[in-house]
Chain A
Amino acid sequence: DAKTTQPPSMDCAEGRAANLPCNHSTISGNEYVYWYRQIHSQGPQYIIHGLKNNETNEMASLIITEDRKSSTLILPHATLRDTAVYYCIVRASGSARQLTFGSGTQLTVLP
């Protein structure tokens, strides 16, 4: 699975959009981009995933660049409860192995 690079930490004001970047320059054609988050020692929670098109669900939007070498997770109106570590993971479809969680980005939403 391709390696990902994320900033270690970010702050965001409550009510504003949080834009979390991820670089995955070695991604290959059959690899999806997944985002999970982990709120302090709880089980990781799935947010969204995509292959090459932008995706949106009730939690977030995922913007993947045309060359697929990077992506951005957007939380449109961040709340204090969105404070968590956000993990960007690249993984091939059909891979039976683990999700490789890197260090992630600690997002702190400030009141």
Chain B
Amino acid sequence: EAQVTQNPRYLITVTGKKLTVTCSQNMNHEYMSWYRQDPGLGLRQIYYSMNVEVTDKGDVPEGYKVSRKEKRNFPLILESPSPNQTSLYFCASSLSEGLAGSEQFFGPGTRLTVL
């Protein structure tokens, strides 16, 4: 089944404790991205990757890191989480942003709470 998976789905952590949220897709998609969703602010892009070893900042990259060593995986790293990073996080992938009308597939979400 074609899908985007995220782990963990729920995480409660404390300020400053490094964490990684994994994202994996099995569709051989080139493009992957991370969003966060907060009440009243909608979905905002954190980082995106056009292909392996190619990443770029979205609208809210501060406090986050990403890497794209393999095509299928795009982990989101919080080196020193803070309470303002408490949010619902979504990973998404699509075949290619160069193609007309490329549909994005979203993962199920990771609900992160930083105390």
A-to-B contact residues, CB < 8 Å: 32, 34, 36, 41-46, 49-51, 93-99, 101-103
Known: A41-B109, A43-B108. A98 touches B35 (CB 8 A): yes
In the complex, are the beta carbons of B100 and A102 less than 8 A apart?
Answer: no
In the complex, are the beta carbons of A98 and B33 less than 8 A apart?
Answer: yes
* B74 interfacial by beta-carbon distance below 8 Å: no
B-to-A contact residues, CB < 8 Å: 4, 31, 33, 35, 42-45, 48, 50, 56, 58-59, 88, 90, 92, 97-101, 103-109, 111
In the complex, are the beta carbons of A41 and B88 less than 8 A apart?
Answer: yes
In the complex, are the beta carbons of B90 and A98 less than 8 A apart?
Answer: no
Instruction: Determine the chain A residues whose CB is within 8 A of the CB of B100 once the complex forms.
Output: 32, 51, 93-94
In the complex, are the beta carbons of A43 and B44 less than 8 A apart?
Answer: no
**6 A-B pairs closest in CB distance:** A43-B106, A98-B45, A93-B100, A101-B43, A46-B103, A96-B97
Known: A49-B101, A96-B48, A98-B58. A42 touches B109 (CB 8 A): yes
Identify whether the interface residues of B are mostly helix, strand, loop, or mixed: strand
In the complex, are the beta carbons of B97 and A94 less than 8 A apart?
Answer: yes
Closest to A55 in B: B101
The residue among A43, A44, A102 with the most chain B CB atoms within 10 A of its own CB is A43
Q: How far is the CA of A96 from the CA of B4 in the complex (A)?
A: 19
In the complex, are the beta carbons of A93 and B101 less than 8 A apart?
Answer: yes
In the complex, are the beta carbons of B42 and A99 less than 8 A apart?
Answer: no
Offer 24 A-B interface pairs, CB within 8 angstroms, sorted by A.
A36-B104, A41-B109, A42-B109, A43-B106, A43-B108, A43-B109, A44-B90, A45-B106, A46-B103, A46-B104, A49-B103, A51-B100, A51-B101, A93-B99, A93-B100, A93-B101, A94-B98, A97-B45, A98-B33, A98-B45, A98-B48, A98-B58, A98-B59, A103-B42
A103 to chain B, nearest CB (A): 7
In the complex, are the beta carbons of A43 and B58 less than 8 A apart?
Answer: no
Instruction: Determine the chain A residues whose CB is within 8 A of the CB of B101 once the complex forms.
Output: 32, 34, 49-51, 93
